[in-house]
């Protein structure tokens, strides 16, 4: 598959704000026909290309980390780091190892983030991609450690860092140690920022809880995709507190843009070009050394 050889994709207008319940994972299952969770239309799967956007309403289905990397990195340039890191059970939470194993089998990932270095439009970049299919990309020790190491390597190699965030929040099964990952990752970003290096956060559906209250919100530039759910507290928690239903657009990317917490909403089809443009405005190709 040749990605981005030519701009052979169709421009899609930014769709309306949508909100998807957290426990649903609106990925595209195998099969000939799928039903779009946003517009309810049945779509022939061949109509959905690698961008995974509903041809009818423009809804952006959730991507796996692998799919995201294929869309964003220059072909064959991604080099993965810390591939074998796996969770332990710091709180002795009953059956945590089984829960992890199940998620590993389902996703073929060791945990909820893939990190590494790559080229994007020829620019050397550190990349971290969270995958909501793995326990809703909750942040525990492995997510925190891989992201921290990625940022630290970025600082050491003087490289920009791009993180595609997605998370339901803290990995509660790891207890207080999961909370500490917010401090650890933010501290690493403080040093990266102190070195005058670029950090771009791309908030994808859903970016909530502890991840929204740490590295996701700390980008020099913060992008998102149309309709992504972004917020700190859970919608239902707030609805329970105020005793009323919240409007659909609450805690969407569009809501966050309106309130000043995003720089730009970029449709998936344009995301790579936007990132290249941002990298071009900050980095010199030869100055970003590989290795």
Partner 1 sequence: MDNKAMEIVKKSRMVSRPTTLEFIEQIFTDFIELHGDRHFADDKAMVGGIAMLENQPVTVIGVQKGHTIEENVKRSFGSPNPEGYRKQLRLMKQAEKFHRPVILFVNTSGAYCGVGAEERGQGEAIARNLIEMAGLKVPIISIFIGEGGSGGALALALADKVWMLDNGMYAVLSPEGFASILWRSPERSADAAELMKLTAPDLLKNGVIEEMIPEAKEGLAENLEYTTAILKEMLVSQLQQLQALSTEQLLEQRYQRFRKYGEFTE
Q: In the complex with Zn ion, which residue's Cβ is closer, 38 or 52?
A: 38
Q: How far is CA 214 from CA 66, 167, 182, 228, 271, in A?
A: 24, 11, 5, 18, 23
Of 66, 62, 56, 51, residue with least CA distance to 27: 62
Among 42, 49, 101, 190, which residue sits at the site for partner 1 (rule: CB under 8 A)?
190
Does 213 help bind partner 1 (rule: CB under 8 A)?
yes
Binding partner 1 by CB under 8 A: which of 23, 24, 84, 286? 84
Q: What is the DSSP string of 137-206?
A: G-B-HHHHHHHHHHHHHHHHTT--EEEEEEESSB-GGGTHHHHHHHHHHHHHHHHHHHTT--EEEEEEEE
Classify residue 205 as left (phi > 0), alpha (psi -120 to 50) or beta: beta
Residue 28 binding: pick among partner 1, Zn ion, none (C-beta 5-8 Å cut-off by kind) = none
DSSP code of residue 46:
G
Residue 180 binds which entry of Zn ion, partner 1, none, CB below 5-8 Å type-dependent: partner 1
Handedness of CA 220, 221, 225, 226 (dihedral sign): positive
Through-space distance between the first and last CA atoms of the chain, rounded to whole angstroms: 26
Is residue 125 a contact residue for partner 1 (CB under 8 A)?
Answer: no
The residue among 14 and 175 lying less far from partner 1, judged by its C-beta, is 175
CB 107 within 8 A of CB 130: no
- When CB distances are held under 5 to 8 angstroms depending on the partner's kind, the choice from Zn ion, partner 1, none that residue 39 binds is Zn ion
| Cβ at position 69, least distance to Zn ion in Å | 25
71 near partner 1, rule: CB under 8 A: no
**What residue ranges bind Zn ion (CB under 5 A)?**
36, 38-39, 54, 56-57, 59
Q: Which stretch binds partner 1 (CB under 8 A): 8-16, 24-32, 50-58, 227-235?
A: 227-235
164 with 136: CB under 8 angstroms?
A: no
Task: Decide: 15 and 227 in contact? Cβ < 8 Å.
Answer: yes
Q: Which of 31, 32, 46, 176 is close enough to bind partner 1 by CB under 8 A?
A: 176
Among 37, 218, 249, 257, binds partner 1 (CB under 8 A): 218
Instruction: Return the residue of 48, 57, 71, 90 that touches partner 1, per CB under 8 A.
Output: 90
Other Cβ atoms within 10 Å of 284 Cβ, number = 9
If one asks whether residue 243 binds partner 1 (CB under 8 A), the answer comes out as no
Calpha distance 148→163 (Å, rounded)? 11
Tell me which of partner 1, Zn ion, none is bound by residue 36, counting a contact when its beta carbon lies within the kind-specific cut-off of 5 to 8 angstroms. Answer: Zn ion
257 interacts with partner 1 by CB under 8 A: no
Of the candidate residues 27, 28, 250, 274, the single one contacting partner 1 (CB under 8 A): 250
Give the tokens for residue 113. 């983030």
Q: Is omega for the bond preceding 12 within 30 degrees of 0, making it cis?
A: no
Residue span binding partner 1 (CB under 8 A) among the ranges 48-56, 117-125, 153-161, 177-185: 177-185
* Minimum CB distance to Zn ion smaller for 61 or for 78: 61
Q: Enumerate binding residues for partner 1 (CB under 8 A).
A: 82, 84-93, 141-142, 144-145, 148, 170, 172-184, 186-187, 189-191, 193-194, 209-210, 212-218, 231-234, 237-238, 241-242, 246, 250-251, 259-261
């Amino acid at each position: 598959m040749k990605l981005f050889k030519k701009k052979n994709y169709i421009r899609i207008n930014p769709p309306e704000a949508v909100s998807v319940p957290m426990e649903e994972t609106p990925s595209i299952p195998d099969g000939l026909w799928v039903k779009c969770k946003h517009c309810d239309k049945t779509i022939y799967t061949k109509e959905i290309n690698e961008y995974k956007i509903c041809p009818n309403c423009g809804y952006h289905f959730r991507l796996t980390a692998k799919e995201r990397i294929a869309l964003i990195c220059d072909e064959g340039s991604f080099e993965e780091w810390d591939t074998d890191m796996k969770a332990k059970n710091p709180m002795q939470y009953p059956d945590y190892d089984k829960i992890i194993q199940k998620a590993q089998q389902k996703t073929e990932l060791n945990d909820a983030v893939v990190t590494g270095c790559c080229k994007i439009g020829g620019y050397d970049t550190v990349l971290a991609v969270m995958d909501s299919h793995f326990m809703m990309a909750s942040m525990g020790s492995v997510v925190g450690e891989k992201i921290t190491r990625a940022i630290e390597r970025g600082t050491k190699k003087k490289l920009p860092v791009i993180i595609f965030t997605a998370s339901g929040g803290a990995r509660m099964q790891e207890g207080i140690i999961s909370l500490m990952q917010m401090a650890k990752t933010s501290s690493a970003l403080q040093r990266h920022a102190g070195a005058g290096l670029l950090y771009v956060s791309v908030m994808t559906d859903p970016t909530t809880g502890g991840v929204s209250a740490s590295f996701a919100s700390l980008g020099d530039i913060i992008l998102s995709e149309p309709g992504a759910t972004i917020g700190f507290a859970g919608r239902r928690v707030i609805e329970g507190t105020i005793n009323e239903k919240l409007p659909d657009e609450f805690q969407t990317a569009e809501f966050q843009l309106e309130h000043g917490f995003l720089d730009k909403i970029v449709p998936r089809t344009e995301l790579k070009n936007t990132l290249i443009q941002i990298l071009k405005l900050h980095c010199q190709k030869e100055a970003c050394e590989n290795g």
